[in-house]
Amino acid sequence: MNHKENLVNIACIQMEPVFGDISGNTRKTIELINQASNKGANIIVLPELCNSGYVFKSRMEALSLAEEIPNGSTIQSWLHAAKQNDVYIVAGIHEKEGDKLYNSAVLIGPEGYIGTYRKNHLWNEEKLYFEEGDLGFPVFETKYGKIGILVCYDIWFPEAFRVYAKQGVDLVCVATNWVPMANQPNEEKRMAVHVAQANAHMNSVFVACADRVGVERGQPFIGSSVIVDSDGWCVSGPASVDKEELLLATCDLSKAQCGKSKTKLNSIMGDRREEIYQVVEKINN
Residues with a catalytic annotation lie at 48, 119, 152
How deeply is 161 buried, as exposed, middle or buried, from its count of CB atoms within 10 A (0-12, 13-18, 19+)? buried
Instruction: Evaluate whether 42 touches 9 at the Cβ level (below 8 Å).
Output: yes
Q: Are strands 171-175 and 145-151 parallel, antiparallel or unpaired?
A: parallel
Helix segments in the chain, DSSP class H = 22-38, 59-64, 73-85, 158-166, 191-203, 274-277, 279-284
Give the dihedral of Cα atoms 188, 165, 144, 141; nearest 10 deg.
-130
CA distance 177 to 166: 27
Dihedral sign from CA coordinates of 13, 18, 21, 23 = negative
CA distance 114 to 221: 29
Q: In DSSP terms, which residues pair with 234 in a beta bridge?
A: 228
Helix (H) / strand (E) element for 117: namely strand 112-118
